[in-house]
Structure 1
Amino acid sequence: MKTLMTAALAGTMMTIAGSSAFAQDAYPLTFQLKWVNQGQFAGYLAAKDLGYYDEAGLNVTINPGGPDIAPEQVIAGGGADVITTWMAAALAARERGVALVNIAQPFADTALEMVCSEESGVQSTADFPGKTLGVWFFGNEYPFYAWMAQLGLATDGSEGGVEVLRQAFSADPLLQGQADCISVMRYNEYKQVLDAGIPEDSLTLFNFADEGVGMLEDGLYVLEDRLQDPDFVDAMTRFVEASMRGWDYVIENPEEAAQIVIDNDMSGALTLESQIYQVGVVGSLIGGPALDMDSYEQTVATLLSAVSPDNPAITAEPEGAYTTIITDALN
């Protein structure tokens, strides 16, 4: 009996030692999200919780974002190895000296839309003049200003133009009658509008991509100089592959993935029902991970035509803003 117990103890100690050695050998990566933990990032949360990153030899720390956290600033300050952010913010940061490079583009379609209430009377873009439109800023305003420039509409509230309401990240301006139309993410604020009891068939919805001013949303970015390190490139290749395994799981198991999101919710404000909805919508956006060049070119064209009175997105065609070295290795 004593011999069996000793053998069992020895086996346990060997397992612990092996796990410790694995943890020490795993490549450490800090991943900064664009927003708080929610279904928008379910693929990454699933990859971590289900052990996909561990199996890839990676020790991944996922840091949630928030309204006061800019992933571009975090990585520039050394607080992250890889970030997920919208291409508009990444290209703007690159032009301003933060040499971000897109290494993969899991989000192939855009979820940014503008929704208008029935009371607004807006049924087409021809009805925009004289209306108040809610717009997100902090880099999210670029497609809106490109759209208004395309329509020939002033954005200073002058006659024949539109009034711009600086919108918080909620649906409140529409629900409270402060704006005729507001910015929404299809997987987030749009659900808030529906949850308020507003019939979907009473709303007018505009998709920015359909209007010709789409921008690529959640992509993966690293600093350019890190790509000179073969070990880092190898680690990022494994990271992208494991992340896409996570997204595959989310698409195939939306309810289980929603529960993983709830388990990682630091606010306590999320509901399983809301995350099942969000995961379902986000899953429909996933493509890639290779960057689609037509979508990239539309994003650049949108940013170059965005006449923002506060802060132009980019002023010149970007160079070196993406690489295929990671996604090519996955083929």
Structure 2
Amino acid sequence: MKSLKIAALAGVLMASASPAFAQDLYPLTFQLKWVNQGQFAGYLVAKDLGYYEEAGLDVTINPGGPDIAPEQVIAGGGADVITTWMAAGLAARERGVPLVNIAQPFATTALEMVCSEESGVETTADFPGKTLGVWFFGNEYPFYAWMAQLGLSTDGGDDGVEVLRQAFSADPLLQNQADCISVMRYNEYKQVLDAGIPEDSLTLFNFADEGVGMLEDGLYVMEDRLEDPEFVEAMAAFVEASMAGWEYAEANPEEAAEIVLNNDMSGALTLESQIYQVNEAAALVGDTPALDVEAYEQTVATLLSAVSPDNPAITAEPEGAYTTVVTDAIE
């Protein structure tokens, strides 16, 4: 059920607008990390069902893709708020883009590694000598932190692991190119199951359970925007309405999946896949959008311990990387 605070915040926004725009909705551009899919169902639902308008907002949702970095989009003024993984947000902040986490709808991680029955991998002790598929472009950090924790070289050989630069699909496992691959619980894992591989034949490792979890889809804005009280109020309304969208999606996964399909620009999504994805994504959403400080600290520790051969995500403890000013306003 939508909180009455949405209407209250809408009133505050409308009252605080300048006379020339008193009748207008507060405009916000929201940049997604990836293409429109069930991963973002709560936001698409909130827009489609009018939750944002009820909150006094005119929200434009821009899909992402393989060639779109939300951190660059917002740094260039192309968005007011983005959703991205904390690794990318903290890395951008250290490199001079002052991003701040204002809310963390996804409370747990969906990043996992799945191994085929043929690989013979049942525990991490079976990793040496195996080929593991790894996503890069900022997604590799938990993997390298994990291997460092296990004391395994990533240069191959009988005592280490061979790293396969994996595309964003399950093909390396399905085509026997890798013993284990990276998957998102709501996406590539379903591809493995849809290929007819019995779930009970697979070995699955969750990165958070292995102690190298990273917070995923959080909401980030540029630091200087938080100096504007009206913008803070708008973001509180946005977060509140978005959480209402997620609540609706969780209770009505088929309807939410239909909304996702109506926003699919590829034409490749199916209702079945999106019902599955909506259910899995909604299960990641916490009871509150407030950032869990312990999960934040685990993310930082993971990033600092990741020995990446390309470049480290961060080299020092971040300062000022998150704020509770927005979520405090809606709790």
TM-score by length of 1: 0.93
How far apart in 2 are the matches of 1:211 and 1:146? 10
Change (3 A) 1:253 1:328: same
| Offset, 1:158 | 3.4
Which residue of 2 is the match for residue 54 of structure 1? 53
- 2:150 maps to a residue whose letter is L
Which residue of 2 is the match for residue 183 of structure 1? 182
Partner-residue secondary structure (3-state), 1:25 = coil
Conserved 8 A contact 1:114-1:184? yes
Conserved 8 A contact 1:100-1:224? yes
How far apart in 1 are the matches of 2:236 and 2:186? 28
Conserved 8 A contact 1:75-1:81? yes
Alpha-carbon displacement from aligned partner over 1:200-250 (angstroms, at most 9, x marks no partner)? 000000000000000000000000000011111111111101101101101
| Number of residue equivalences | 311
Which residue of 2 is the match for residue 252 of structure 1? 251
Structure 1 runs (4+) greater than 3 angstroms displaced: 21-24
Partner-residue secondary structure (3-state), 2:329 = helix
Partner-residue secondary structure (3-state), 1:330 = coil
How far apart in 2 are the matches of 1:251 and 1:192? 22
Change (3 A) 1:22 1:202: farther
Which residue of 1 is the match for residue 326 of structure 2? 326
How far apart in 2 are the matches of 1:208 and 1:70? 23
How far apart in 2 are the matches of 1:24 and 1:317? 44
Which residue of 2 is the match for residue 101 of structure 1? 100
Which residue of 1 is the match for residue 311 of structure 2? 311
Written as runs of structure 1 = structure 2, the 5 A alignment for 1:39-50 is 39-50=38-49
Which residue of 2 is the match for residue 18 of structure 1? none
Is structure 2 residue 216 aligned with structure 1 residue 217? yes
Partner-residue secondary structure (3-state), 1:206 = strand
Partner-residue secondary structure (3-state), 1:65 = coil
Conserved 8 A contact 1:26-1:54? yes
| Offset, 1:75 | 0.4
Which residue of 1 is the match for residue 165 of structure 2? 166
Structural RMSD (CA): 1.1
| Offset, 1:110 | 0.4
Partner-residue secondary structure (3-state), 1:102 = strand
Unaligned regions of 5+ residues in structure 2, if any? 1-19
| Offset, 1:147 | 0.1
Conserved 8 A contact 1:23-1:59? no
- 2:84 maps to a residue whose letter is T
Is structure 2 residue 296 aligned with structure 1 residue 296? yes
- 1:123 maps to a residue whose letter is E
- 2:321 maps to a residue whose letter is A
Alpha-carbon displacement from aligned partner over 1:19-54 (angstroms, at most 9, x marks no partner)? xx9996111100000000000000000000000001
Which residue of 1 is the match for residue 112 of structure 2? 113
Partner-residue secondary structure (3-state), 2:289 = coil
Partner-residue secondary structure (3-state), 2:172 = helix
TM-score by length of 2: 0.93
Which residue of 2 is the match for residue 68 of structure 1? 67
Which residue of 1 is the match for residue 231 of structure 2? 232
Alpha-carbon displacement from aligned partner over 1:131-165 (angstroms, at most 9, x marks no partner)? 00000000000000000000000001134000000
Partner-residue secondary structure (3-state), 2:219 = strand
Which residue of 2 is the match for residue 197 of structure 1? 196
Percent identity, aligned pairs only, is: 86
How far apart in 2 are the matches of 1:328 and 1:158? 51
| Offset, 1:177 | 0.5
